[in-house]
Amino acid sequence: MEDMDKRPKNFIEEIIEKDLETGRVKEVITRFPPEPNGYLHIGHTKAMCVDFGMAEKYGGRCNLRFDDTNPSKEDTEYVDAIIEDIRWMGFDFGDRIHYGSDYSEQIYQYAVQLIKKGLAYVDDLSPEEMREYRGTLTEPGKESPCRNRSIEENLDLFERMRNGEFESGEKTLRAKIDMASPNLNMRDPVIYRIKKEPHHRTGTQWCIYPMYDFAHPLQDAIEGITHSLCSMEYADHRPLYDWFLEKLEIPNPPRQYEFSRLNINYTVMSKRKLRELVEMGYVDGWDDPRMPTLCALRRRGFTPESIRRFIDLIGVSKTLSVADWGLLEYCVREDLNKRADRVMAVINPLKVVIENYPEDQTEEFDVEINPEQPERGTRKVPFSREIFIERDDFEIDPPPKYFRLKPGGEVRLKNAYFIKCTGYETDENGRVTLVRAVYDPASRGGESPDGRKVKGTIHWVSAGHAIDAEVRLYDKLFTVENPDDIPDDKDYKDFINPESLVVIKGAKLEPSLRNAKPGDRFQFLRIGYFCMDSKDSRPGCPVFNRTVTLKDTWAKIVSKQG
């Protein structure tokens, strides 16, 4: 993780360093265990950065392990997307791609061992009855009538479950722990259930599948994981994690540690809700740039470096908090400021005719590609009699301290000339359709030889050389800061921001963008950072997505924090 050595150690680093010093472990081995039932989102990047980052920092390794123990929701589409996202984020798992389904036989045999030890039993209770028997936080649960079946009967029933003799939901295998435990997770949890559905990797080979709480510690043990790093919702599950490892007498067992998950305002992180947004058509797919998925952020123009920087600024702790989307925007601005080429683009064009400029003349200006990278040199930008400027850069009756173009007013065209407005035309509704101006030939390059001051500088594009493009302006997906915390009589979808996507057709771009490729990122001067869309752009019909605006409210805050 970026800047790891520039900040105080977090509690996980302290644990790992102590384990290495005392010899509890010789090598740090972690795992990143996504479930292939959806696309990874920004919330997963914290776990990704912690799991891969800790192994990276301490010279260890991190396995990629797909938690594919629920065949009803999983698909190879998600597997492929997750692999692509992790590699895009810059993490290396080499050939260490594992699947929970790889261990099906081993996990099954561990369950048989528990039965033989008298620590697991086959239960006939329905899910509704099981909830009733479970008890509450203040009342102990009741034991199932099946709890005291003999070991022989349980072994026989469990094998018959495997052989497909019972229907889905008809029977389960439960661990025999303590129905009066104050921790509800320890009240005889289900460790196997019947699911007669084809699996995306094993087909119909299995019809029983382990629950995650049972599979998780055993998969960790099989792979030799030393530090099983989880989010805080698994803290109450840790006694169960340890119980399975202890009762099955696993040598050198892994240890689980929990940290707070990543939550961000103005979005949702629930895979169920994200899937609902996709399937109900509120967004245009998992990669819609308004979504918090990594494929969507990539399409919108976010960089992996900016996301890793965001995670590093948030830090690793056990404290639950909600991160500000503005901090993520600050991180991508900071990164794109260094790497993005500067170009001129007019989003809402208004034509200007420079009446004293020769009609048949075109000249070129050498314009800096990126002031943060002077070694990149300059690009050629053509200039002619007719240009486009932003409609907002001209006002007939401007407010006080308006330094852009107005009747009789003078502005500097970026890197070109001073021009003065001599007139304008409007349509029947009073909307300005054309601006007339004259230029000062002596001000070439934007400097006046007589030393007169011109306060306003605006960007422009030569009309005869402009590229037409579609521009998509993206904003926060929700109008409320926490769409997961709304009144009971409301639906989170009622708060989708109607301005989260504004599509503008007919934008005018400087001709250097003719060579842009999908995924290329630019700073449109005075407007924001944009990325050429990787899905909808076509030759001659480019589409540019706004990654983020130029305005930044976080820069001073982060600089004060160092």
61-66 and 97-99 beta bridge pairing: parallel
Beta bridge partners of 529: 523, 548
* Spatial distance between the Cα atoms of 327 and 42, rounded to a whole number of angstroms: 13
CB 201 within 8 A of CB 99: yes
* Spatial distance between the Cα atoms of 429 and 202, rounded to a whole number of angstroms: 67
Catalytic entry in 2, 13, 35, 372: 35
Catalytic entry in 271, 298, 342, 521: 271
Distances 41 to 239, 330, 464, 472 between C-alpha atoms, Å = 29, 19, 43, 21
**Which amino acid, residue 45?**
T
Give how far the C-alpha of residue 103 lies from the chain's centroid of Cα atoms, to the nearest Å: 30
* Spatial distance between the Cα atoms of 530 and 408, rounded to a whole number of angstroms: 34
139 is catalytic: no
* Spatial distance between the Cα atoms of 273 and 277, rounded to a whole number of angstroms: 6
* Spatial distance between the Cα atoms of 276 and 280, rounded to a whole number of angstroms: 6
CB 219 within 8 A of CB 211: no
Distances 64 to 35, 48, 154 between C-alpha atoms, Å = 11, 10, 34
CB 387 within 8 A of CB 352: yes
For 198-228, letters b (16+ CB in 10 Å) and e give: ebbbeeeebbbbbbbbbbbbbbbbbbebbbb
261 is catalytic: yes
24 is catalytic: no
Please give the structure tokens belonging to residue 243: 């119980």
* Spatial distance between the Cα atoms of 380 and 237, rounded to a whole number of angstroms: 62
Catalytic entry in 147, 261, 273, 420: 261
457-458 and 410-413 beta bridge pairing: parallel
CB 82 within 8 A of CB 65: no
CB 513 within 8 A of CB 523: no
Which residues are identified as catalytic? 35, 261, 271
